[in-house]
Amino acid sequence: MIVDSIARHSESELWQAADRHLLSYTGFGGFSPEIIVSAQGSYIVSAAGRRILDFTSGQMSAVLGHSHPEVVATVRRSMETLNHLFSGMMSPPVIELAQRLADSLPSPLEQVLLLTTGAESNEAAIRLAKLVTGKHEIVSFSRSWHGMSQAAVSATYSSGRRGYGPAAPGNYALPTPDGYRPDFRTPEGDLDWRRQLDFGFDLIDAQSVGHWRRASSSPSSVPGVSLIYRLAILLRCNANATSEACCSSSMKRRRGCAEPACGARSSVTASRPIS
């Protein structure tokens, strides 16, 4: 199909059709300046015949590379047997995947919600967090990207916010630490993350109406995998029976938390590492 399209249309004709019929939501100047016709491993091939090292990882191909033979064989087998079902129906591969994902999760987590895109997963994760906690405020890093659906884009600050009217209420930005260009430095010149967190959560406390419970951090979009962290991004403390998260000295003052038995870890409710 792709080869036929290239044979029937020049590259300039394809670009004219793309400009006329396709929208780009990236906010970074539209599409990349190459039309891609094939990919293998870490490389993509343009319509002009250029072989390009794919530093984007192809999103869906991030782990195994493009056109991995086992993935191609699995997709071909699925297309020949059972390629699509109504979401309320079950099939053995879906159940097996859920079991394998559950086996990788810490106790007591043992259920998964299988979705398609990063935005869809973040949307569902935010809804679950609101439903379970009864609270509605979401804290996200100021350079975060979570997707283009309503709750996900409301928790996104790197782009895509202008021109759409009010975002979902209760979303706040936490300044993103930068180890290369720190806003707060130790006497040695390194990032002072404790002061950074104190400053950030002081800002959150000043804006909050008291209904925040979780922080969202999505360095990139990985289809089907959601990421919602407790507000203990760097520290976790178990100060009382509710295990309220205390992330800084300012948080301990406001929440009345005792001194935590803290470690440099985060409490994760889904399965993607923070960067």
For the domain that residue 156 is a member of, what is the CATH number? Answer: 3.40.640.10
Instruction: Clarify whether residues 131 and 245 are in a common domain.
Output: yes
Instruction: Clarify whether residues 27 and 57 are in a common domain.
Output: yes
Residues 6+ apart with CB under 8 A from 56: none
Q: Is residue 168 part of a domain?
A: yes
**Is there a contact between 205 and 250 (Cβ–Cβ < 8 Å)?**
yes
Instruction: Clarify whether residues 219 and 104 are in a common domain.
Output: no
Instruction: Clarify whether residues 251 and 120 are in a common domain.
Output: yes
- Say whether 99 sits in a helix, a strand or coil: helix
Q: Is residue 80 part of a domain?
A: no
For residues 226 and 123, what is the distance between their CA atoms, to the nearest angstrom? 8
What backbone phi and psi angles, to 5 degrees, belong to 124?
Answer: -65, -40
pLDDT at 10: 85
Instruction: Clarify whether residues 108 and 165 are in a common domain.
Output: no
Report which of 266, 272, 270, 176 is spatially closest to residue 222, judged by C-alpha positions.
272
For residues 208 and 2, what is the distance between their CA atoms, to the nearest angstrom? 51
Instruction: Clarify whether residues 125 and 176 are in a common domain.
Output: yes
For residues 176 and 268, what is the distance between their CA atoms, to the nearest angstrom? 19
Instruction: Clarify whether residues 136 and 243 are in a common domain.
Output: yes
Domain that holds residue 27: 2-73
Tally the domains of the chain.
3
Sequence letter at residue 89:
M
For residues 158 and 147, what is the distance between their CA atoms, to the nearest angstrom? 10
Instruction: Clarify whether residues 173 and 218 are in a common domain.
Output: yes
Q: What is the CATH number of the domain that holds 56?
A: 3.90.1150.10
Report which of 213, 268, 259 is spatially closest to residue 237, judged by C-alpha positions.
259
Alpha-carbon torsion, ordered 262, 265, 269, 270, to 10 deg: 180
Instruction: Clarify whether residues 13 and 29 are in a common domain.
Output: yes
- Say whether 225 sits in a helix, a strand or coil: coil
For residues 251 and 231, what is the distance between their CA atoms, to the nearest angstrom? 10
pLDDT in tens, the chain (275 residues): 555 555 567 888 898 898 899 887 665 567 888 899 999 988 999 988 999 998 876 666 667 888 889 989 999 999 999 988 888 899 999 999 999 999 999 989 899 999 888 889 999 999 999 999 888 999 999 988 888 889 999 999 988 788 889 999 999 999 988 888 999 999 999 999 899 989 999 999 999 887 664 444 444 333 322 233 333 332 222 222 222 333 334 444 444 443 333 332 222 333 333 32
* pTM as predicted: 0.67
Annotate 161-195 with three-state secondary structure: CCCCCCCCCCEEEECCCCCCCCCCECCCCCECHHH
Instruction: Clarify whether residues 135 and 229 are in a common domain.
Output: yes
